[in-house]
Structures are given as structure tokens and as C-alpha cells.
Amino acid sequence: MTVEVVNVVRRFGATAALEGVSLSLRPGEFAALLGPSGSGKTTLLRILAGLDFPDGGEVRIAGADVAAVPARERGVGVVFQNYALFRHMSVAENVAFGLRVRARAHRPPEAEIQRRVRELLELVQIPELAGRYPEQISGGQRQRVALARALAIEPQLLLLDEPFGALDALVRKEVRRWVRGLHERLGITSILVTHDQEEAMEMADRLAVMEAGRIVQFDTPRALLEAPATAFVAGFLGEATRLLVRIQGRVARASEFGLEDIAVELPDGEALLFLRPHEVRIEPAHAAQGVVRFVRPEGAGGARVLAEIGGRMIEGISTTEPARGDACRIRLLSGTVFHSEGGQFRWQRQEAWATR
Amino acid sequence: MSASAATRRHVLPGFGVSLGVTLAWLGLIVLVPLAALAIRPWELGVAGVIRTLAEPRVLAALRLSFGAALLATAIAAPLGLLMAWVITRYHFPGRRVLDALVDLPFALPTAVAGLALTALFAPNGWLGVPLAAIGVQVAYTPVGVVVALVFVALPFLVRTVEPVLRDLSPEAEEAAATLGATRPQTIRRVVLPTLWPALLTGFGLGFARAVGEYGSVIFIAGNVPMVSEIAPLLIVTKLEQFDYPAASAIGLAMLLMALLILFGLNLWQRALRRGRA
Amino acid sequence: MSGAAIADPRSLRWLAIATAVVLTVAILLLPLAAVFAEALRRGWEPALEAILDEDSLAAVRLTLLVAAIAVPVNTIGGIAGAWAITKFDFPGRRLLITLIELPFSVSPVISGLVYVLLFGAQGFLGPWLREHDIQIIFALPGLVLATVFVTFPFVARTLIPLMQEQGRDEEEAAATLGAGGWDIFRRVTLPNVKWALLSGVLLCNARAMGEFGAVAVVSGHIRGQTNTMPLHVEILYNEYMFVGAFAVASLLALLGLVTLGAKALLEALARRRMGDAA
């Protein structure tokens, strides 16, 4: 089922929650809306669910304009943030709800409803909980009930609003792999809203990164990491050291921090230099350029190192394991420079020995 | 925004029906009749209204109604706080019964309460006899009015303070203790400040109920003009004389004064909450 | 349970409990006992006789009738108001809540007065009503209107805070699953608020049956016709028929006690339901 959002605008009073958002999903795709709180991702999800309505723009599901179709007629499955299970109904009654409220002409007979509920509970692997009430089961189990309930109406589109937020860290990892696996089996076009980049990166085919009511980039996880469209995306995804540098005569003056200058194809002005840990090599040295402050050992004798240089902390990788307080040298392998007035440059050290 | 767009803004169905029913219910039962009260007195002209309200008997009745209500609520406040404290903090046999009895004034018809208090405090009543022995007369005096109003206002204070007291986490008090505060210091500096807004709310509710109270008061008050005659009774008297404008003038004055006091309490409470935030 | 660090001294605790108990007995329990004692002063028979008197029975019937009309009106209005206020965003919600609660700040006497001003002989609509031979004041419609006014906020007031706290998540979930308005209300909202609703209806009913000031103003005290139970109590009392007055008052007091008991039971049920869950 395709989903198309074109130029959608939503205002709450004077503030705009969505400022012209466009998004296009392929059938069967698993997409994630990722952004800090207040970036508009939940508003967009609610508009797709029919729980909110845009002030402008179009929303098309399977080619049909649904902007004015209320939630009850959309057939979009929603897993709510806190699951919103009906607390006075048993698990089975929760799952059956969407079938029981159908108009009599479309309502399956009771035996058929029972059968479908059993099937769905088996699908989400909790058939033994049918008679329990929401308060009597764990967070992870509630999550499965919410999913089964949403799937009961055979949705063409499944929306998941921070569905793992209420789970503890261990359960969360397991449940999200299971949900992704379920998606592989059912093939329902799905959209996940989350502020957790690790979760989005792991689960989604493509991610829409949102900032202040706009989608700043919609791409695969790898593309987002390797070619972030803006400094915001670069900063939001993955770890990075961020340095504010001046550009003068096609050179980014990283030497102000005791690093080497970087040649860039950008005009004069201010810029942000992003350095991912794997782009920075920390090496032992006698002439102290920097000092090792924190060390986290990693496999194969190497370590993740936080070094202080020119009053800044820079995170990088060392092939050996230095000790705290050791003198060190910092060598940059690559980095991304974002000019404050737009424009970016991907810098890469040319020497062959740099990538050893 | 077009009308259709405005209506589809609502996600859940039933907005038009429910708001329509609500407004009809509110308008027909409350707003239109109150409008009649706001209009009627002015038949007398502004000077006439002032003359009506300035009558010594009217002034005395208003003074008694408001004075006794304020005094009674002020007495009920510490009593209510104590009751709420005992109900939420201590465990003792009969706590449940005590808890349930607090609601008695809510559930007991006012005329019954009035009759009961009169029987109790009458010179030959269970409490009237011992009180008379020490020279205190309650029934048929302004004191009786205050006693009846304390009865009426008490549950409002208990029931508004109680949930706040229940939700108050013992950790804050424990923290105060670890910081070296004595128990009275903890109560004065940690517990009471969080209770103030609720106490004010309860005070407002209790006062609003007490100031207009009729049934529980008229039996015990004796209703001596200028001494123990409350304003609501004077309204009834004026109505029985078919003096609608005077009755409505007193009624309007009562209502406006009560709302003004409630509004003042509300402002005070808001200032307290803001100060805390 | 609170720890030892913040436990009050034993002596203080017992002093507080003793004060509360004495207070409760003196100003809450004793009056109640006095009513029954006065009613039974000359034994069961005169008391029963007074209750079974024709005028008394007429008053009981009228009281039941008035409550049977007023309580459903305020229940429907209260549910509609709570639904509109808690399930939708619209300007003026706070004002609407204030207006719904307004009758609690109005003296019962004034609640009756406003209808006299509208429908009384010299009221705004008085002449028109007389022409068409419609009696509102000193008749059943007046009693009902005054009672509805006085008990107006009860149901809405118990529902609004609870429904606000419960939010709209479950209703929205029901909507995404295809439920219509009636289904959402009946299957999702109502089961979640039924105990509170019942308790609001109970309190509304107790006040409706016991209301005195408002109905005193609109009733005209016509025996056997416009006399509700509380008004009948007053008449008997003013005629120095104390046993009768207190006997009918006992009946009303019993109604209050039953209401209290039922309310406590409802709260226990609601608590146990939650306790089950935990």
C-alpha cells in the first residue's frame, strides 16, 4: 500500500507543528520518523491515523485522498505510545473490539471472531493470556496485545507511536527485532515514530529525520550516516565530536584546536566540523599534542579514547590501549564540514598510509 | 477555515450533540433564570435598590449571613485539617466509620440537619442542658447559626484536603528529617505549604455552601429580625409579601458578594500556586 | 507506611484521634441520633402513624416523583457536558466548567427565587402563563425545576475530573479500530466511569430528595399536592407535631444513611477492581 504525504501543514494556534511535510512510502516499506520531541513526528503520525487533520496539503493512502476521512473509516492500525488498551476488557476482548464494532452487515459471526482472535494471539505468541486483563500482564505482553488489536482490523497501514518507550532496555531490543520480523512476514506498510536513533536505524528501511516541523532528510540508514544533508542530521545520528571552526581562504582552521588545518571547497565564514570516532586516530606520542583522559577498551587490543586537546575533548580510536594521562597525537582521517550559511564539504585525507 | 473543516477537526464523534445538549441544559436551567435575577431588581431604579439594601433589617441579615459563614468556615478549616490528617495518617479501630461519617452533612437533608441540631442544642436538648449550665445558649441565637454552618462546611474542607494529604509522599517529610528538621518544623515548612491551595479550595466550597444555607439554619436560628435572621430567610419573607423586586435585590446582592469573595479566594490560590512554581 | 523518622509521637497521635472522634460524635453523630430519639420519644406506634398518615404518604410520593424527573435530567446533562468538555478541545471549556458548577455557589433560596421571577404571578412570564392556564410555580413543574437547579452540578462534577484524568487514548484507539460514537461511549468510556457515575447519581438523588430551601420557595406548601417530604417536616414542626416531624425526618435521615452506605460500597468496589489489577 503506498502512502503519500504532500506539503502537509499543521498549526496549533500561532506555532506550526508541521511546515510543509512531504513523504512517499513504497508498498510494504518499513519507515521511521525520527526526531527530537517537538519536531512534529507524532503530529504527522496522528494525521496519518485520522486522529488529527492538516490545515493544508494532501494525505493519500493507496492513492485515495484521506485528508477528510475520520479515523474510524480509515482502517489504519495504530499501536499507541502507552498502548491505550481498554483496561476493563480482557486481552481477547481487546483484540476482538475492532471486529465487534463493525456494522452488522460487515461483522463476522461470533465463532469467526473467536477464531480470528485466537489466530492473532498465536501470531503475537501470547495465546495463553487471552483471559487476562491489561493490568495483569507485563509491558512487553501489553505491547503484543496492542499490536494484535491493531492487526485485527487488517490494516493497510500500520502506525507505531514510540511503541517500545515503555519497555525496559533488555526487553526492548528483543521486542523490536520480533516486530521487524513480523513485518517481514506480513508485509504491511509500517511507520514507526521514535526519538531513539538506534531503534530507527535497526528497524527501518528508510528514515525520515524531522526537525522543527520539517523532514530534513529521508533516506536509508547508511546514506544518512555517510551523507547527512545537514549538520542537524549529522549531529542527531551516530556519535560525533563537533568543532566550531573558521574558514579562511579555502582552509578550515582546525589548527586553533591543535589539530591540522583542513582544505575545503567552501567560502569564508563559520562552519561546524563533524568528526565521527572512527574518523579520528589517537596515537601514542612523546611530544604531547594532547592528553588521554578516558579509555574504553575494545576488541583486538584497541580502544575508544577521549583525548583532551586545546581545551577540547575529541573522541577517536586507538589501535593500542593507552593509559589515562598518556601523551598522545591526534590524526584526522576524514570529516564533514557544514558551512553556517549552507553548503557542506566531505573531507578525506589523501595519503594512503592514513587508512592503515 | 470553512465550517466543514472546523467540524472535522474533532477526532471523536459526538461533539455537536454533546455540546448542544450541555448548552441547552445549562441555558434553560441556569443561565436564563439567573438572567431574570440580574434584571428584576432594577425596576426599583438604582436608588431604590440601594434603599432596599440599606434597610437596617436587610443590612443586619446580610451581615449575619456573611459574617457567620466566614466565621464558621474559618472554624471548620482547622477542624477539617485535623480530621483529614487523622483519617489519612493514622490507623485505629473505627477509622473507616469516621471516614464515612464525614460525608453525613452531604447526605443528610438540610431540613433534617436543622431539626436535629435544634433538638440537640435546645435548652432541654442533650447538649443544650450542659451548655446552659455553664451559661452558654446556642439555640435561637447567632451562635446557633454558626454551629449549623460549621456542620454544613466541615465535609468540604475534609474532602478537599484529604486527597492532597494522601498523595503527599512521605519522602519529602523524611528528607526534611534527614536534614535535621524537627517534626513541628517539618509540618510547618514542608506539609502545610503544600496543603494551602487545597485548604483555600475547601474554604471556598464550604463558604459558598454556608453563606446561602437555609434549611439547617432556620430551625436553630430563632429568626429574630436584626439579631438571628439570615438573608435567605429575608428573601423568603419578601417573596411571601409578593415584593419580588426587593427579594431579587437581596438575592442579587448576596450572589454577587459571594461570587466576589470566591473570586478573591481563587486569585489568592492562583498567586500561591504561581509562587510555588 | 510512613517510616519511624516521621511518625508523630504516640501521645500526639492519640490526642489527635481523640479530638477527631469527639468532634465527629458531637457535631455529626449526635444530631443524627437526636432525630431518631425524638421520633421514638413516644415509642414506635406514633412514629409509624405519622409516617403512614395520608399527607405524609403524599409527600413521599411527590418527593419520589420529583427526584425521578430531576435526576435523569441532570444525569443526561452531566454526561453530555463531561463528554464535550473532556473529549474535545474548544475555546471556552474552562468557562463552561465554571458555569456548570455555578449552582453550587447559589443559595437554595435564590435557586427557587429565580423561577418565581420567571414564572410566578408577577414574574416575566406570569401573565402569559395565566392566560394559557399553565401552572408552574406552586405546582410540580416548579418543584422539578428548582430541584434540577440545586442538583445541577453533581453528575458533571464527579465525571469531569475522572474523565480528564483518563484522557482520550482509549477512545482514540477505539476510533482507529472503527468504532462509532455510541460504541465508543458504551463500550469504552462508560465502563471506565461507571462507579463514579453511579456515585454522582446517588449524591444527586440524595440532594434532590432532601432539598428544602429551593422547593420551599416554589412550593406554596399545599398539603397533599405540593408538599415534598422536607417541606412536610417543616409544616409538622411548625404545628408542634414534633413526633410526626421527627418521624418523617428519620425517614429522610435513613435515605441519607443508605446513600452514604451505597457510596462507601461503590468506592470499595472501585478500589477492589483496581486492587485486582495490581
Q: What is the pLDDT of residues B185-232, one digit of tens each?
A: 888 888 888 888 899 999 999 999 999 999 999 999 988 888 899 999
Q: Which residues of A touch B8 (CB under 8 A)?
A: 53, 68, 70
Q: Is the Cβ–Cβ distance between C70 and C140 less than 8 Å?
A: no
In a domain, C105, yes or no: yes
pLDDT in tens, A35-71: 988 899 999 999 999 888 899 999 999 888 887 788 8
Q: How confident is the model at residue B7 (pLDDT cuts 50, 70, 90)?
A: very low
Inter-chain touch C113–B248, beta carbons under 8 Å? yes
Averaged pLDDT, C37-63: 91
Show the domain range for C103. Answer: 44-277
Contact: A71, B11; criterion CB under 8 Å: yes
* pLDDT higher than 50, residue A354: no
Chain C residue nearest residue B29, CA to CA: C149
Chain B closest-CA separation from residue A5 CA (Å) = 18
* Domain boundary assignment for chain A: 3-233, 239-355
How many structural domains compose chain C?
A: 1
Whether residue A84 contacts residue C173, with contact meaning beta carbons closer than 8 Å, is answered with yes
Give chains near A: 3+ CB pairs under 8 A: B, C
Angle at C277 between CA C276 and CA C278, to 5 degrees: 95
**Contact residues on chain C for A101, CB-CB shorter than 8 A:** 174, 177-180, 183, 187
Q: Residue A69's closest chain B neighbor by CA? A: B8
Best B10, B19, B22 residue to mutate vs chain C (most C CBs within 10 Å): B22
Q: Contact at 8 Å (CB) between C108 and B212?
A: yes
pLDDT of residue C71: 96
**Cβ atoms of residues B53 and B59 within 8 Å:** yes
Consecutive H or E run containing A17: strand A15-25
Yes or no, beta carbons of A101 and C177 under 8 Å apart: yes
Separation CA A211–CA A192 (nearest Å): 16
Please give the pLDDT value at position B4: 38
Question: Predicted ipTM?
Answer: 0.90
B2 falls in which pLDDT band (50, 70, 90)?
A: very low
Q: Is A151 a residue whose pLDDT tops 60?
A: yes
Return the number of other C-beta atoms located less than 10 Å from residue A346's C-beta. 13
Average pLDDT over residues B114-130: 92
Whether B263 has its CB under 8 Å from any CB of chain C: the answer is no
Taking residues A267-284, report their average pLDDT: 90
- The reply to whether residue C110 touches residue B254, judged by beta carbons under 8 angstroms, is yes
Helix (H, G, I), strand (E, B) or coil at C209: helix
Examine the pLDDT at A21 and tell me if it is beyond 70: yes
C35, part of any domain: no
A317 bridge partner residues: A281, A304
Residue C252 lies in a domain: yes
Kindly determine whether residue A152 and residue C173, on different chains, have CB atoms separated by under 8 Å. no
Residue C255 lies in a domain: yes
Phi and psi angles of residue A192, each rounded to the nearest 5 degrees, phi first:
-110, 130
Query: Please, are residues A82 and A167 in contact by the beta-carbon 8 Å criterion?
Result: no
> Which residue segments constitute the domains of chain B, with CATH numbers given?
46-276 (1.10.3720.10)
| Three-state SS at B65 | helix
Residue C187, domain member (yes or no): yes
List Cα–Cα distances, A299 to A132, A319, A337, A354, C85, in angstroms: 46, 10, 30, 21, 60
Q: Give pLDDT, residue C225.
A: 79
More confident residue, A68 or B123: B123
Please, which residues have CB within 8 angstroms of residue C182's CB and are 6 or more apart in sequence?
none
Share of chain C above pLDDT 70, in %: 95
Q: Answer whether residue C245 is part of any domain.
A: yes
**CA of B10 to nearest chain A CA: how many angstroms apart?**
8
The residues near C75 (Cβ < 8 Å, ≥ 6 apart) are C155, C197, C200, C201, C204
Cell of C33: 441520633
| Mean pLDDT calculated for residue range A288-304 | 86
Cβ density class A93-109: b for 16+ within 10 Å, e for less: bbbbbbbbbbeeeeeee
B9 interfacial to chain A (CB closer than 8 Å):
yes
User: Which residues of chain C does B104 touch, with a Cβ-Cβ cutoff of 8 Å?
Assistant: 28-29, 32, 256, 260
User: Which residue on chain C is closest to A49 by alpha carbon?
Assistant: C176
pLDDT digit string (tens) for C108-159?
A: 999 999 999 999 888 899 999 999 999 999 999 999 999 999 999 999 999 9
Interface test with C, best of B115, B143, B255 (most C CBs within 10 A): B115
3-state secondary structure B208-259: HHHHHCCHHHHHHHCCCCCCCCCHHHHHHHHHHCCCHHHHHHHHHHHHHHHH
Q: Give the count of alpha carbons within 13 A of C179, CB side only.
A: 25
Between chains, do C175 and A72 touch, taking CB under 8 Å as contact? yes
Range in A45-49, C176-180, C264-268 the model is least confident about = C264-268
Q: Is the pLDDT of residue B34 over 60?
A: yes
Q: Which of B5, B11, B13 sits opposite A51 (nearest CB)?
A: B11
CATH number at residue C225: 1.10.3720.10
The answer as to CATH 3.40.50.11540 being correct for domain A3-233 is no
CB-based contact, B11 to chain A, within 8 Å: yes
- Per the CB < 8 A criterion, the answer to whether B244 and C137 are in contact is no
Backbone angles phi, psi at A78, to 5 degrees: -130, 130
Residues of A in contact with B4 (CB under 8 A): 68
Which amino acid belongs to residue A66? V
